[in-house]
Amino acid sequence: MGQPPKYHKNIRLRGNDYRQGAYFVTLCTAQRQELFGWVAGDGTDVTMMLNDMGRIVDECWRAIPDHFPHARLDQTQIMPDHLHAIIALAPPVGIGSTQWVDATGAWDDDRAMDDVPVRPRGPVPGSLGAIIAAFKSETTKRINRLNRTMGQLLWQQGYYERAIRQQGGEYGRIAQYIAENPANWR
């Protein structure tokens, strides 16, 4: 008899479409492989040294606003086996909005998000899930091309996200945690 089916626990907030708000996200490499470089230095003089794969991740992450104009990137830290970042999404606007792009391609410039057809599967276009899917897809393709390892898994399934509350200084605490991540590496 075969293995029982694996179930992926859905950690998303019920009723939240993830097209607006600020989020703390963490993406981990498959099997937590240390692929993106190394942490160098000690004490207060610690820095993350990106290798070629880490530079691809950095370049693709920084390009997100070019493809998703409603996304603003804040504190980001690439580590040897994961990425921490804060991403803020402006609420969708109506007709006449800027171009929206998702993992499947570009929408027409004057098409409102509310006019996007409902898809039976996959993230809502323009949502945090769509942004992460596009980012993971592009980094995987580029890194596999670099390493000549087509079809190799780069990221763990899914990602961790936390909606950042407006009150209580949570945004600042999360930004500080991300900035100090190299100093706390192992």
The answer to whether the CB of 87 falls within 8 A of the CB of 25 is: yes
> What is the predicted pLDDT for the residue at 112?
43
Question: Roughly how many angstroms between the first and final C-alpha of the chain, as a whole number?
Answer: 41
Delineate the domains of the chain, giving CATH numbers in brackets. 21-184 (3.30.70.1290)
Residues 186 and 40: their CA atoms lie apart, in Å, by 12
Burial class (CB in 10 A: 0-12, 13-18, 19+), 150: exposed
pLDDT digit of tens for each residue in the chain (186 aa)? 455 555 444 454 555 656 688 999 999 999 999 999 999 998 778 999 999 999 999 999 999 999 999 999 999 999 999 999 999 999 766 533 444 333 333 333 333 444 445 555 677 888 999 999 999 999 999 999 999 998 999 999 999 999 998 777 899 999 999 999 999 997
**Using the 8-state DSSP alphabet, how is residue 112 labeled?**
-
Sign, CA dihedral 45-51-55-58, equals: negative
Tens-digit pLDDT profile for residues 134-161: 999 999 999 999 999 989 999 999 999 9
pLDDT at 6: 54
